[in-house]
Amino acid sequence: MSIEPGLVLTGMLVIGFLCQWLAWRAKLPAIVFLLLAGLLLGPVLGLLRPDALLGDLLFPVVSLAVALILFEGSLALRFHELPGIGGVVRGLVSYGALLALLLLAVAAHLVTGLAWPIALLFGALTCVTGPTVIAPMLRTLRPNARIANALRWEGIVIDPLGALFAVLIYEVVVSREEGHALSVFLGTVFCGAVVGALAAWSLGQLLRRQLIPEYLQNFGVLATVLLAFTLSNRMAHDSGLLTVTIMGIALGNMRDVHVDDILDFKEHLTTLLVSMLFILLAARLPWPLPGDLLWKGAVIFLIAQFAIRPLSVLVASLGGGLSWRERALIGWVAPRGIVAASVSALFALRLQALGVPGAQALVPLVFILIIGTVVLQSATARPLALWLKVAEPEPRGVLIFGADAVARGVGRALHEADFRVVLADDDHDGIRRARMEGLSTFFGNPASTHAERNLDLAGIGRLLAMSVHRERNTLACLHYRQEFGRHKVYRLRVLAPEENTDRMALADKLLAPPLFDEAMTHARFADLLARGWRIKTTRLSATFDWPHFIEEYGPDSMLLFGVEEKGVLRVASAKRELEPKAGWTVIALVPPEAAL
């Protein structure tokens, strides 16, 4: 049964979105659901046949998509951050990665009989862990800060470097198969590096001099990347992937060139491309796999999981200051992702066209390793972290922006209710007073670059912006929406009389939900405290419920927080009215005559 191509493409887009959404709900890497969807649509049901659907466009479509994925990954690499990421990460992305590459190649050669060039290419493709797979796994795993930083930075740094290794090995294989001399290979590498550097410099000049309007910058960068990729391939065959990798690294490290908005756009575009690409590539897999590739791939996966990864981490972390428990967890977690899947499929298409022996086994082996590592590690990493005692607690804690009397009073109440509380502010006197009261503090703006590197958010899951600076509260809420989620950031309103107009008010889309009720402002809260109001913590029961609390402490009492029996914190907000129940602990602001 033939299906209209437009309907097939639309269906892939919808299914890709559903896979991404399901991954978000299940807190698992999206690659698991995307690959399963591709296998179901392709070899199982036969509804999706990529070669018939795209025909001669299959190779160009995959090539351009992979070029954009590699560029986005390379753009995130910052050289100035490399010296500060620690000896462990430097070891993991240098000699540790090289050791893993060689051992994976040896395993592929011995288990499957692949020729050494293809085996080395397999090792280069599968020695990397991608940030797009690591990030959702860390949200579920929640290891301590040192493990999380090591795994996150390993993924960020090794992703483009692994792609670079794979591209170089691929160029060697292609040059050898086509009978090219060493000079042809070196010329390909030279062309890719030069075109990538020139394209990055030219684009950087245009962006630095603001010769491209802001609303066209994403469009311009996209067009330039694809143009550089295509031109480089025309000048020297198969040099385009190296070009976009070099281009991304160079552009991302240029001074006075702001690429944050470009990177955000590329991340969204990459999500779309990855969703479509993984479904497309998985649908091309033959099923059942030819010969004995399935069990051989499973053997390679077991060797990689239980021998190669632990050994490479052991070697890379020597003298790195990590405990054996931390090294053991890092040695277990190494999910493969986007680079391995997409680049292997692209290389396999090209190598099969050249008739390279063993090229047809490259994609199945890579996909088996991807599925095995992601599924096994997603299911076992959190229990292992708990067993090793290197897991952080549930993110129940609260980050409070502010250190004046209002912020300190709320912080003390939450701290006494057994929540981890960190007060962050650049008010030296307020921070000093908070420390004297036994509260954890961070001196500085919580939305600063310094905070990104030094503010310990272990166990923190909410932000209460309670400083006296309205705009800085808003910036902090916008910043931590990405970290905690839109519904986990709140602000205490700071409202001057002249600001209570539509002309002066900030746009609603910039504002987090207001704390407590619409009438409560920072000035009013501070005034109530100065007049003797107190923050009262009380546990409700069947005989003393919330109406009894109001009856005893007065109708003017204001509910601030509620803590459920299981320890879940509920924040009172103008947009979310709480209904305390028996067994809850309530934190309320009560009048002075009732607080005695």
CA distances from 591 to 409, 536, 586 (A): 15, 10, 15
Helix (H, G, I), strand (E, B) or coil at 74: helix
What is the pLDDT at residue 49? 83
Q: Is the pLDDT of residue 497 over 50?
A: no
Assess whether pLDDT exceeds 70 at residue 162: no
What is the pLDDT at residue 595? Answer: 47
Q: pLDDT tens digits, residue range 411-455?
A: 999 998 888 888 998 888 888 898 988 888 888 888 876 777 677
Candidate CATH numbers 1.10.3470.10, 3.40.50.1440, 1.20.1530.20, 3.40.470.10; the one for domain 58-388: 1.20.1530.20
Q: Is the dihedral of CA 522, 487, 141, 269 positive or negative?
A: negative
Helices 145-177 and 182-208, axial angle in degrees (round to 10): 130
Cis ω on the peptide bond leading into residue 288 (within 30° of 0)? Answer: yes
**pLDDT: which is higher, 488 or 88:** 488
Task: Report the pLDDT value the prediction gives residue 510, as an integer from 0 to 100.
Answer: 59
Q: What pLDDT does 6 receive? A: 79
Find out whether 400 and 427 touch, Cβ atoms under 8 Å: no
pLDDT reported for residue 235: 85
Going by the DSSP 8-state scheme, the letter that residue 514 receives in this structure is B
> How do residues 247-270 score in pLDDT, each as one tens digit?
888 887 777 777 666 766 666 777
**366, 109 Cβ separation under 8 angstroms:** no
Q: What is the predicted pLDDT for the residue at 135?
A: 67
Query: Model confidence over 498-543: pLDDT tens digits?
Result: 445 555 555 555 577 888 877 888 888 898 888 888 888 888 888 8
**pLDDT number for residue 178:** 61
pLDDT at 185: 63
Out of 47-61, 122-136, 331-345, 532-546, the most confident range is 532-546
User: Can you give the pLDDT at residue 304?
Assistant: 93
d(CA 64, CA 344): 14
Tell me which range, 76-90, 153-167, 345-359, 512-526, is most confidently predicted by mean pLDDT: 512-526
Q: Which residue in 239, 208, 241, 244 sits closest to 225, CA to CA?
A: 244
Task: Indicate the domain borders of the chain.
Answer: 58-388, 397-595
Class in CATH terms, 397-595: alpha beta
Res 175 pLDDT > 80: no
- d(CA 493, CA 130) in angstroms, rounded, equals 40
In terms of Cα–Cα distance, which of 94, 162, 79 is closest to 318?
94
Residue 181: what pLDDT?
Answer: 53
Q: In this predicted model, what pLDDT tens digit does every residue of 63-101 receive, in sequence order?
A: 787 778 777 767 766 665 555 456 777 788 788 888 999
527/165: higher pLDDT: 527
> How confident is the model over 471-492, as a mean pLDDT?
83
Instruction: Find all residues with CB under 8 Å of 112, minimum gap 6, and list them.
Output: 293, 296, 300, 358, 361, 365
Q: What is the mean pLDDT of the chain?
A: 80
Q: How confident is the model at residue 210 (pLDDT cuts 50, 70, 90)?
A: confident
